[in-house]
């Protein structure tokens, strides 16, 4: 099998990765040539900053939607009959979930809390070498969703790190979930699609 061909390049870096030397003052009245590639390096740093901004903007948006929706559900829907949205197919039904996404693993609340915290740390560390806009969106969705459910684990009853997550979206024949779960699933699906296309978080593309 042929060794994987790796194509290096990002949307922020010109092909070839080299920029012409620029004349800059050296402090003595003469001029010196800047190091080749300085312009490309600056462009990559700017591109990475923009991608990091996208990641955290998406995470903040997903997190805010999740927190606001849960506050409304607890205040208006909890301890009340479910609200039907589309006949018997979709309703809003507030429940407290001690398990993972979609109600799985109710006996391992603390473990899922630790996993969520670890995911957040990994995403933040990965952001330091992020140059891909689609990856920034995907990781932002994962980060926002993980933060949303982790907030419940820490601040809701019955206690710190064992708090129950508020779920309320109840399709017929499926587990009840929330917007944080939706963000995590959408981010995961996007990561799978990007991986199939050969796009890495650092902006490189590989083709087998």
- Work out the widest C-alpha separation in the chain, in whole angstroms: 80
By 3-state DSSP, what share of the chain in percent is helix, strand and coil, each rounded to 5? 50, 15, 30
The number of angstroms, rounded, from the C-alpha of 82 to the middle of its chain's C-alpha atoms is 31
User: Contact 12/47 with Cβ under 8 angstroms?
Assistant: yes
Catalytic residue among 167, 200, 202, 208: 167
181 noted as active-site residue: yes
Strands (E), the chain: 5-7, 23-25, 31-33, 83-86, 90-97, 165-171, 205-207
Token pair recorded at residue 124: 């933040």
Alpha-carbon span 26 to 28, nearest angstrom: 6
Query: Which member of 66, 152, 181, 208 is catalytic?
Result: 181
Q: How far apart are the first and last CA of the chain?
A: 9
Residues acting as catalytic residues: 167, 181
């Amino acid at each position: 099998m042929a060794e994987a061909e790796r194509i290096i390049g990002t949307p922020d870096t010109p092909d070839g990765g080299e920029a012409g030397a620029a004349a800059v003052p050296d402090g003595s009245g003469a001029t010196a040539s800047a190091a080749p590639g300085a312009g490309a390096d600056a462009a990559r740093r700017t591109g990475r900053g923009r991608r990091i901004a996208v990641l955290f903007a998406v995470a903040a948006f997903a997190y805010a939607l999740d927190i606001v929706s849960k506050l409304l559900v607890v205040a208006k829907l909890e301890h009340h009959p479910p609200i039907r949205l589309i006949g018997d197919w979709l309703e809003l039904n507030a429940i407290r979930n001690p398990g993972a996404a979609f109600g799985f693993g109710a006996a391992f609340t603390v473990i899922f809390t630790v996993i969520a915290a670890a995911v957040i740390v990994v995403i933040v560390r990965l952001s330091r070498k992020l140059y891909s806009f689609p990856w920034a969106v995907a990781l932002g969705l994962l980060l926002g969703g993980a933060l949303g459910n982790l907030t419940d684990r820490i601040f809701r009853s019955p206690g710190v790190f064992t708090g129950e997550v508020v779920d309320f979206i109840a399709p017929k024949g499926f587990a009840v979930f929330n917007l944080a779960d939706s963000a995590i699933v959408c981010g995961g699906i996007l990561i799978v699609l990007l991986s199939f296309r050969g796009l890495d978080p650092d902006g490189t593309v590989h083709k087998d």
